[in-house]
Amino acid sequence: MTRILTILLLAFSLACLGQSCDTYDGVAVNCIDSVGLKQGLWIYKKNRLTSSSYADLGSDAGCRYNAHYSPIAEIRGYFKDDMRIGQWEYLYGGHTLSLDRVENYYNNGDIKAEYWDYATTKSGRLVDHYYLTFNNDSSKIRGKFYHEFDSLTLSLEHDVCEIDFSNNDSLMTFRNCDLDKFEYEILRLLIGVYDRDIKIKKDAR
């Protein structure tokens, strides 16, 4: 019995020695086990990005200025044997972090990503909210866009992007469509490019 306990304690000690972690707010995070695999809670801190812009202002000299922004400030979630599992949160902002999106990782390889967009008013009212579900090779994408005027269905399959109303009437269809084009059209939905079309077609139903 003593021998078994000794072996177990030795195995536990070796496992602990073989794992390296960081510490964040007194909690062990970002652990890599003895064989180099990520395990447990991981928190990625993102530094602010710098963009450089140029304006001539009607002169040959012009001016250049730098803009600092941090689209995603923190990413947190869990690994098991180097694979993302469960829910991952993407947070953006400066001193106060706000939720940008949540990704859920499933055993079959599917990923569901849920996104939020807030008004620029002081109230921070939720304006648009959508989610996308990707299969394991991203060849099939389904989603919902919760617009002010209707809940829209999003899909990308066989190089065809479709955005439909909640009653399955088509709002728009794009051929030869890839993920970049799909995300571009979702961005156009977010910034209100299609608001007028949505309202007109919805009122005509």
What is the rounded CA–CA span in Å between residue 56 and residue 78? 48
Q: Which tokens is 46 given?
A: 């993102």
Residues spanned by the domain of 189: 106-205
Name residues whose C-beta falls within 8 Å of residue 57's C-beta, 6 or more positions apart in sequence: 63
Share of the chain above pLDDT 70, in %: 67
Question: Is the model's pLDDT at 121 over the cut of 70?
Answer: no
Q: How long, in residues, is the chain?
A: 205
Identify the CA nearest to 79 among candidates 70, 88, 92, 71.
88
With respect to residue 49, please indicate whether it lies within any of the assigned structural domains. no
Percent of the chain residues topping a pLDDT of 90: 23
Domain assignment of residue 124, yes or no: yes
pLDDT digits (tens, 9 = 90+) for 134-175: 887 778 889 888 888 888 999 999 999 999 999 999 999 999
From the centroid of its chain, how far is CA 204?
35
Residue 44 within a domain: no
Determine, yes or no, domain membership for 148.
yes
The residues, any chain, with a CB within 8 Å of residue 13's CB and separated by 6 or more, are: none
The answer to the question of residue 147 being in a domain is: yes
Domain presence at residue 53: no
Distance between CA atoms of residues 112 and 130, nearest Å = 11
Total of domains in the chain: 1
Cα separation, 151 vs 11, whole angstroms: 55
pLDDT value for 47: 56
Cα angle vertex 44, ends 115, 99, to 5°?
25
Residue 123 neighbours by CB under 8 Å, 6+ apart? none
Mean pLDDT across the chain: 75
For the sheet with 38-45, list strands across it: 20-24, 27-32, 38-45, 74-80, 83-93, 97-105, 111-118, 126-134, 140-146, 151-157, 160-164, 170-174
More confident residue, 91 or 117: 91
Regarding pTM above 0.75, the answer is: no
> Is 31 inside a domain boundary?
no
For residues 113 and 142, the answer to whether their CB atoms sit within 8 Å is no
Is 156 domain-assigned? yes
